[in-house]
């Protein structure tokens, strides 16, 4: 006699495997959607030139500059090689960015899209003096107390607009300027879509406009108390509350009346 139990069992196993595969795919899709939703407001655009200013409430800052050698030559008038085969002269880049207003702490290079890129990290004691350094002389920086807030303003003027020949630009290249602020932002003119997560403001401009010297006026105001300070205060208060609760629990255990001893 022929039985079909094994066949049915195999079919059930196949169905289970199919549904389990679909479940895994659904879970993976959910994870992707979660990541994408969590990254909303984060810019993943590639820029030909970009600056990141991490500002402190005392006026000091850490500044990161990244740009192709062609963009640095065209925008700032440098004389770096735009040949993608030629390695970047990092010592020369360090010398170009070193000044009494900014200390270079790191210089690296990379290759992308057939062009060499330079990445510089600088420590700036006073952001208001940074325009005295040649690579940042196209900007005017303001940072001061304005009543109950701090006000920051950076105005970009003319670039060097130095010809660099054919370096593969299409006219669609963008430049970016990001401002990382230490306290709650109360005002900015970056636009509603350019307030990024992590208290970051983003201003963008076409490379062609920046080369032409189209002005860019970046403004922001912030509270006078840093987010880190508030977080530390909150943790301290929570710690104190836990200690008080622990002390109260010990006092209650020690002071609670004991039941009378049983007599035989």
Is residue 17 included in any domain, yes or no?
no
Q: Among candidates 220, 228, 223, 218, which has minimal Cα distance to 51?
A: 218
Q: Is the pLDDT reported for residue 9 higher than 60?
A: no
Is residue 244 included in any domain, yes or no?
no
Is residue 117 included in any domain, yes or no?
yes
pLDDT of residue 148: 93
Rounded Cα gap, residues 156 and 179, in angstroms: 14
Rounded Cα gap, residues 25 and 9, in angstroms: 24
Rounded Cα gap, residues 125 and 58, in angstroms: 9
Beta strands in 30-102 (DSSP E): 49-55, 61-68
The three-class DSSP label of residue 188 is strand
Is residue 132 included in any domain, yes or no?
yes
The three-class DSSP label of residue 178 is strand
Q: Which of 24-28, 50-54, 55-59, 67-71 has the lowest mean pLDDT?
A: 24-28
pLDDT of residue 28: 47
pLDDT of residue 197: 86
Residue-wise pLDDT for 138-163, tens only, equals: 999 999 999 999 999 999 999 999 99
Domain residues for 56? 49-227
pLDDT of residue 254: 72
Is residue 67 included in any domain, yes or no?
yes
Residue-wise pLDDT for 82-125, tens only, equals: 999 999 999 999 999 999 999 999 999 999 999 999 999 999 99
- Please report the DSSP string for 202-243 in residue order: EEEEEHHHHHHT--EEEEEEEEEEEHHHHHHHHHHHHHHHHH
pLDDT classification of 16: cutoffs 50, 70, 90: low
pTM beyond 0.85, yes or no:
no
Q: Is the pLDDT reported for residue 33 higher than 60?
A: no
Give the contacts of 198 (CB within 8 A, at least 6 positions apart). Answer: 180
Rounded Cα gap, residues 96 and 85, in angstroms: 22
Q: Provide the percentage of residues in the chain whose pLDDT is more than 90.
A: 67
Rounded Cα gap, residues 79 and 93, in angstroms: 10
Is residue 203 included in any domain, yes or no?
yes
Is residue 22 included in any domain, yes or no?
no
Give me the torsion for CA of 100, 91, 174, 187, rounded to 10°: -30
Residue-wise pLDDT for 223-263, tens only, equals: 998 544 445 444 454 665 666 676 677 766 777 776 666 66
Better-scored residue on pLDDT, 244 or 130: 130
Rounded Cα gap, residues 74 and 209, in angstroms: 12
pLDDT of residue 260: 67
pLDDT of residue 47: 98
Rounded Cα gap, residues 203 and 191, in angstroms: 8
Rounded Cα gap, residues 74 and 173, in angstroms: 13
pLDDT (mean) for 48-76: 98
pLDDT of residue 2: 37
The three-class DSSP label of residue 93 is helix
Is residue 39 included in any domain, yes or no?
no
Number of domains the chain is built from: 1
């Amino acid at each position: 006699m022929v039985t079909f139990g094994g066949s049915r069992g195999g079919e059930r196993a196949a169905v289970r495997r199919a549904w389990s595969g679909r479940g895994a795919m659904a879970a993976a899709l959910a994870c992707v959607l979660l990541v994408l939703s969590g990254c909303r407001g984060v810019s993943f655009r590639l820029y030909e030139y970009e600056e990141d200013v991490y500002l402190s409430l005392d006026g000091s800052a850490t500044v990161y500059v990244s740009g192709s050698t062609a963009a640095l030559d065209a925008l700032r008038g440098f004389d770096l090689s735009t040949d993608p085969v030629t390695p970047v002269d990092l010592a020369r880049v360090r010398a170009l960015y070193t000044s009494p207003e900014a200390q270079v702490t790191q210089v690296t290079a990379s290759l992308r899209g057939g062009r060499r890129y330079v990445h510089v990290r600088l420590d700036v004691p006073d952001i208001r003096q940074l325009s005295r350094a040649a690579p940042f002389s196209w900007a005017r920086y303001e940072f001061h107390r304005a009543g109950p807030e701090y006000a920051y303003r950076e105005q970009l003027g003319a670039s060097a607009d130095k010809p660099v020949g054919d370096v593969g630009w299409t006219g669609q290249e963008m430049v970016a300027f990001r401002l990382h602020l230490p306290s709650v932002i109360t005002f900015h003119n970056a636009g509603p879509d350019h307030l990024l997560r992590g208290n970051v403001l983003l201003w963008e401009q076409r490379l062609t406009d920046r080369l032409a010297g189209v002005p860019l006026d970046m403004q922001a105001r912030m509270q006078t108390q840093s987010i880190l300070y508030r977080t530390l205060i909150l943790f301290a208060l929570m710690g104190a509350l836990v200690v008080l609760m622990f002390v109260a629990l010990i006092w209650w255990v020690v002071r609670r009346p004991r039941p009378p001893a049983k007599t035989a």
